[in-house]
């Protein structure tokens, strides 16, 4: 029993060291990340994306893109400029392991949410918009290359879709531009509202 306890302690220690990579995450997050994204990546302001439960590899890529300037953001380019590879890996590990929060969809917005659900799962054959679920998954969880959209701030999703549409977002825009340019403003807001209210087991969070 004693040997088992020692082995578990070693495994836990190794996992923690690998996740942090020798990086002082507490200082890095206190001085840089938490001001906008919150202590666990659950940004309270709609201006900033929620990072909690976001896919690790996707987070790594975005931080590297901010650092090298292939994704443009006045704030994030400056924040990421001095990040080391080890810090990027540690941040992605940390945020991806945090539990996702849920957004509530107000009753007055349910009709718009229904439009978003239809576009997300069925697309729009009349304007050549494929279902979002084809890439981002039934519950908008994404994968190692694609972002998790479930529970994301509605305003942030709207902002990114518009950035893809006008190509002011400078990375990952080849496929998304071809989709976003065909979305109406109503469809953009409807899809954003729908995914913001998704929960882990599927469906939207009710009042």
Segment 6-40, tens digit of pLDDT:
333 333 333 443 445 689 999 999 999 999 999 99
CB 94 within 8 A of CB 26: no
Task: Tell me how far apart the alpha carbons of residues 184 and 130 are, in angstroms, rounded to a whole number.
Answer: 14
Segment 125-140, tens digit of pLDDT:
999 999 999 999 999 9
Task: Tell me how far apart the alpha carbons of residues 154 and 150 are, in angstroms, rounded to a whole number.
Answer: 10
Segment 84-99, tens digit of pLDDT:
999 999 999 999 999 9
Predicted pLDDT at 61 = 98
Predicted pLDDT at 15 = 40
Task: Read off the DSSP letter of residue 130.
Answer: P
Give the CA count within 13 Å in the CB-facing half-sphere of 192: 20
Segment 41-79, tens digit of pLDDT:
998 888 899 999 999 999 999 999 999 999 999 999 999
pLDDT at residue 164 tops 90: yes
Q: CB neighbours of 166 closer than 8 A, spacing ≥ 6?
A: none
Domains annotated for the chain, with CATH where assigned, are 2-96 (1.10.760.10), 107-196 (1.10.760.10)
């Amino acid at each position: 029993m004693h040997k088992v306890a020692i082995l578990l302690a070693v495994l836990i220690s190794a996992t923690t060291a690998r996740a942090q990579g020798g990086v002082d995450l507490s200082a890095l997050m206190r001085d840089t990340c938490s001001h906008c994204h919150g202590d666990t990546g659950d940004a309270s302001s709609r201006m900033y994306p929620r990072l909690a439960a976001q896919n690790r590899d996707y987070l790594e890529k975005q931080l590297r893109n901010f650092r090298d300037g292939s994704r443009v953001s006045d704030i994030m380019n400056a924040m990421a400029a001095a990040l080391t590879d080890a810090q990027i890996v540690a941040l992605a590990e940390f945020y991806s392991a945090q539990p996702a929060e849920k957004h509530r969809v107000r009753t007055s917005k349910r009709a718009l949410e229904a439009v978003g659900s239809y576009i997300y799962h069925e697309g729009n054959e009349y304007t050549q918009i494929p279902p979002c679920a084809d890439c981002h998954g039934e519950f908008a969880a994404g994968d190692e290359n694609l972002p998790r959209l479930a529970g994301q701030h509605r305003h942030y999703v709207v902002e990114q879709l518009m950035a893809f549409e006008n190509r002011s977002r400078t990375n990952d825009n080849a496929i998304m531009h071809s989709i976003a340019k065909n979305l109406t403003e109503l469809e953009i807001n409807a899809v954003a509202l729908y995914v913001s209210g998704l929960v882990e087991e599927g469906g939207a969070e009710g009042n």
